[in-house]
Every structure is written in structure tokens, then in C-alpha cells.
Amino acid sequence: MTTTHPMQRAPIPGWARASVLALALAATVATAAAQSPASIDARVDALLRRMTLEEKVGEMTQLTIQAVSRTEGTPTVEHQLDSAKLEEALVRNNVGSLLNVWDVAFTPQHWREVITTVQRFAARKRLHSPVIYGIDAVHGHHYMVGATVFPQNLAMAATWNPELVRRENEITAYETRASGITWNFSPVLDLGRQPLWSRFFETFGEDPYLATVLGVAAVEGEQHDPRPDLATLLQSGSPRVVQHASRRGAPAHDDPPVGGTVFVAATGKHFLGYSMPLSGKDRTTAWIPERQLREYFVPTFKGAIGAGLRTVMINSGDINGIPVHSSHEILTGLLRHELGFTGVTVSDWEDINKLYTVHHVAASRKDAVRMAVMAGVDMSMVPFDFSFTHDLIELVHEGAVPESRIDEAVRRILKLKFELGLFDNPGPDPAMLANVGAPVFQAVSRQAAEEAVTLLKNDRALLPLSKRARVLVTGPGATSLPALHGSWTHTWQGTNEAMYPTGVKSVLDAIRAEIGAGQVTYVPGTTEHDAIDIAAAADAARRVDAAIVVLAEMPSTEKPGDIDDLTLPDAQLRLAAAVEATGTPTVLVLVENRPRIVRTVVDSARAVLMAYETGPFGGEAVARILFGDVNPSGKLPFTYPRYTGAIEHYDRAPSADVTADKPEGGYDPQWPFGYGLSYTTFAYSDLTLNARDVGRNDTLTISVTVANTGARAGKEVVQLYVRDLYASVEPPMKRLRGFEKIELAPGARRTVTFRLPIQQLAFIGRDDRPVVEPGDFDVMIGGLTQRFTVR
């Protein structure tokens, strides 16, 4: 796909791109990797001893780029830095970190100019400490024009493909580092268990195991040097992600121009419990008992910390009335002492001051600073002024904050800068910028979109449609690129259509390209909330072979995304119902950033596709699946609710389940977790365990045979669930304990083997501590069950 953008400068010729790829991506970090942790620690200690209090506190201060800029960026006007403001912030106030854009994505060339200028001013500091620059590159480096944009995390989770997630984050890390940015505020490790929450789409779904596996893949993809793997990808010319390439290999002849022992610092966010607000509104109170907090919300962070996560961003809200920024128990006791996190903790936007202005647990702005720093916050995203800096200096002079606590925080920040190689080369690499948006990078995004789209209904095998069919396309998602991309795309909310490049196909564009414009009738039908011409859409449906109704939620995140009702807007439901009432076979395509209630139009639809927010190739992925070029393989990473007041998760307790003696209630979702159809069929057989009686420190080997019994090749996610029959705490009906995505040709079969450490069956007991209890357990895969006993 070739795209152009209103702010993009002259493109780099293909021959130049190819030659630079061969040179730049073949590099490894041999020199940087030679820096041992001991040598970095020694450099940190030596520098810290030379620093004044003012220099130390400056390192703990993070400002938005707006605070050091003269002109806001727009689709037609380039952003400008302000030299006087840079001098004041970086040189006179020793600010150690900047973040963000103002207010639109920058071109690669402008990022190079911005980072180079910022680091030039930082070099004027007495000790020449570089700036660590942060960005929310949450589905690709979407704040850089021309960079590779990927599906949102929820859609990536629907692929159930950790290697795709790893590759996505390798590409994101490469393109982020190419622009000179070394700190990515990603991945979101919150669980998606409150679908009202506006940032649901940023999660990897509702399950701790799935989210942990994908979160670890994201962290490793960001922080390990991706250049050897990407060089292999580019040299092969193949976009297909099957197995993660080895990072071992001979060093390149020339040292790389940028890099360190950490390539880009990943950020686990938002520690802890941010995604479970009781009301569903962003940044509001979460009520999470200690046992549930540890059972569901800690594992993703624990896994990422085990993978070497270097930074953590703090939950903007409160848990059980205690703002997390003020909780020494959570930020020091749990995060540091129990989970062993050694990296940098950073607040979210203005959150320390909000302890005073919003939460009212601090009596003044300065008291809020004291409270947060003593709780365990290392860096404050202030983000506009020097209030944090001045207040903290005063607090140290007053004895309210010991300088030893300042030294602790600054040591972590300086160590991260050394690990990133910023003291050796803080600027961008122009050679790397030449590779931004490489065709094989784009191909990975396309593959991710195709593997994410989930077929939820296909009554009487309506899909795939014939390419000779005459179709109606209607609904607000048919033409909306922002709906396909979601928030954090070119702008914060992702709604500025002027920033979207040309050449990206909407669902309507992609269907026209797939079968020919002459076979496609388009009627808008509705906007997101209002009817336009529903009657015209219904009339057009009577004259075609099939109708494709693309329902959508427009992008929104954080407070602007707060809603009061999960039900899709009434105008869209009336459009779908009117089209279905014509009797024309109808396909619903759901372009959503969270599951919206569509119960009233599902039964009359012949087919339903969940398209999520699948990015620049989402429209093409939908079209290719509708007309059979791609066999869908996505699986829901969350339980899709049937009613707005019936939010249950697959790992529900027995008391929440539908049983023979309680048919009137319980778990009755629209579609369950892990669900997704294919154009072929798979049969499971021969579920075997290597033992029926195991100890608590043993590992159980489980195998099952999967056969493709249909007429076309397809991908299947083999999902391993375990059920604890009896426990001291009411056990869930089942829990995901393993999965593997496989591809089978027609008639082919494969034996899939899992190794399950029995310790993985631990749950948080009545004493709020993990425990594996003896007893009977069921292994469940593909409708098959086998029982084993833990001694």
C-alpha cells in the first residue's frame, strides 16, 4: 500500500530505502551490550555524586513538548520549538524528560529536528545529562507521519498470536528509535474486564494469562534490539510471521549509531487496577478487593517485570478510595518489594497535583508532591510548569523528603538513560529514518488485521460471498478511517481526518476494489448517532444479493470516551433492523473499540464480523474475509455481553453459571471468550495426559490432535483450559492455561503439546497469598476433557 500525507515531505526513493535497510538493519548492539550492569552502575554513581539537589530534582521532572514550544502543529502548519523556553526548562531548571506532540503527528524529518534540538540544549547543562523523550506509540509510532500503524491492542489480542505482537513491537521500537525517541508509554497491561471503560480497546482483553503472554511479547519486542530480526525479515522480503528469530549471531562490522542494552524503554501501564472503575468512567474509583487485585490485575505486571520491564506508569485513579499515587503499600511494598521492580515509576498526566485538586487527600500542591514521592513515584509528568521541581526542592530543604529518596529516584532515571545509550549518542539516526514505513513492515500490519477480524456468526454459510454478488454497503463505519484506526492515531483522539494519509482504504473502498465498483451500492444510512436515509438503505437492500451493514463507534479514549450505556446508538440499530427486515441476507460488521450491545439485530443477521479497530489494513481485511480471499481466524479476547447490565467473564464462579436447575439466569453472553468461526472445520481427538496423579512441583504434559476436516486451509487457536473442581475459594468454571495458533491444510492433522507446570494452577487464597491446593482438576481442549489429581 502506498500512502501520502498532507504534511509528508518528498519520499525517499525505493533504491535508497533498500540500500539503507541493508546497512542499518544489519547492525547489532555489540558495543552497547558490552556495557555490563556493573559498569553502568559505576557511571551512575559517579554522576550522581557530582549532582546538586536542583539537578537531581530536575531529572525527576517531565514536561510536555507544549511547554517548550512556540507554535502548535496542525495538518498544514509545522510545530515549532521555542529556544528561550528550552533554555529555561533544560538548562536553568535541569528538566530531565519531555514527552508528547503538540498537537498532531510530526514528519520523520521534523522529529529528527526536534530531538536533535532538544538534545543540543540538554548538552548545555553543567553535567550534559541528555533528555529521555517519551511518547504514546501504543499501536505503532502513530505520532510520526508515514510510520507503520498497527491494529489496536484489543485487535492484536484477537489474533492470539504472540509472535505477531512481538514483531509489531519490534517495528514500533525501530521506528520510534529512528525518530530519536527512546521511551514508549506502552504496553497497556490493564485487564479489559469493564467494557464501559473508554480505554478497553488498549488492553489485551479480559484474561490474565492471555494478556500476560502478549504483554511479555510486547515488552521484549520493544526493549531488545530489533535490528537483527528486522534485517532478516527485510532481506527475505517475506511478511509472514511464524517463529521468532534468534537474537544470537555474529556482530556487524560497524558499531550501530544508536542503542544500548535497552533499545527502547517499554512502560507497563497503568499500575494498578486502572481498568476496573466501578462506574465505568475513566479515572474514577475502582473497588477491587485484595484477593481479586492479586488474582487478576497483578499477573500481567509480574510477567512484564520478569521480562525486564524498565518503566511503569501509575494508575490515574484510586483503589478503594486510596489514590495509587499516594499508596506506599502499592508502589513500594507491592511493586518494589514483592514484584522486584527496579526501574523507573512515572506519574500520568498531572496526576500528582490531582491528589490535591481532585482526590482531596493532600492539603496542598506541595503536600501532594511529598505524598507521591514518598509513596514511590520517581518522575512527575507535571506537565506544563516547574511547580513540581520547586516544591520538591523546598520539601527536601524542610526535611519532609529525605535526599536519600531523591537519590534513589534519580539513580533509577540515570541508569535508564545509560541503558538506552543516551549518554553516548542521544540523537536520532538519519539512516534508520529512511526505513520508516518499509513495505514489509506494512505487511506485518496487514497480516495482523487479517488474523484479528473475528467471524461471530455465519448462518447457512452465507460467507464468503461470491465476487459476482451485487451488494449494498451502508452504515457509519463504511467510510470512516478514524473508526478503523481508533484513538492515539495521528492525534490524541484520532478524529482529525485531515491527518490521515491518502491511499488507505475504508471498508467501502476495499469492497469496491475487491469486486468492482459497479457491483456495489452505497447508502450512508446513519452517522454514529443520527439517521440520514434509513429508508433509502432499506430500499436499496431489496435490489441486491446481500447487504453489508457496517456499524461503528467513533474513536474516543480517556475522559472524552466516557459513556453511560453500552448499547450501540439507536439510529444504527434501526438501520440494521430495517435492512434485515427486507429479507435480503445481511452481514453486520462491527467496528468497535469495546463491545457494544447489538442483541436486537443479531438474530436476524445471517453473518456477523467483529472488525475491532484494525488500523490501515482493516478495511481490506474485512473485504478479503467477506469475499473469501482470507479465511478468518480471530478469536474474541473478551466475553461479548448480550445485555448492558449482564457483564460476566468466562472465568466466572459456579454460582454465576447457567445450570440445569437454574436455566433462567447466569452466564449467557452474546458470544463467549475465545470464540470465533472459520470457513473450514477442525476436529479434536486423542486428548492425553502423561500422568493422572501429579505433585505440586511437577509439570504435566498434555497433548491433543487437531485435524482440518474442511475443504480449505485455515488457522486454529488451540485453547487449553483447566477447571479446579473444589477449592477453598470458589473456583472459576475454567481458566485459560495455554494456547497455540496453528495452520492446517485441508485434511492435515497435527498433535499439539502443552507443558503445564502445576504451580501455574495457583490461585490467591483466603489469606491473600498464592496457593496450589491438592484435589481433582479437569483439562479441557476443544470439547474434550481429561481429569488429573494433584497430591
Residues carrying an active site annotation? 348
Name the region of 205 (left: φ>0; alpha: ψ -120 to 50; beta: rest). Answer: left
Please give the single-letter amino acid code of residue 367.
Answer: D
CA separation (Å) from 357 to 395, 544, 558?
A: 19, 58, 18
Angle between helices 37-50 and 403-419 (to 10 degrees): 130
The answer to whether the peptide bond before residue 257 is cis (omega within 30 degrees of 0) is no
Closest CA to 1 of 639, 537, 440: 440
Q: In the chain, count of helices (H) and strands (E)?
A: 25, 28
Q: What is the CA radius of gyration of the chain?
A: 26
DSSP code at position 89: I
Nearest in space to 177 (alpha carbons), one of 274, 259, 116, 80: 259
Give the angle subtended at the CA of 172 by the CAs of 169 and 174, to the nearest 5°.
110
> Could you tell me the CA-to-CA distances from 709 to 681, 687, 749, 752 in Å, in that order?
5, 17, 9, 16
Nearest to 55 by CA among 96, 97, 98, 99: 96
Centroid of chain to Cα 279: 23
CB 386 within 8 A of CB 93: yes
Q: What angle do CA 724, 730, 733 make, to 5 degrees?
A: 50
- The one-letter amino acid code at 496 reads N
Asked whether the beta carbons of 371 and 355 are under 8 A apart, the reply is yes
What is the DSSP annotation of 316-356? SSEETTEEGGG-HIIIIIIIIIIT---SEEE--TTHHHHHH
Distance CA 590, CA 454 (A): 10
Closest to 230 (Cα-Cα) out of 388, 76, 26:
26
Please give the order of strands across the beta sheet that includes 267-271: 267-271, 311-314, 344-346
Q: Are 455 and 634 in contact (CB under 8 A)?
A: yes
**Structure-block grid coordinates of residue 233:** 525479515
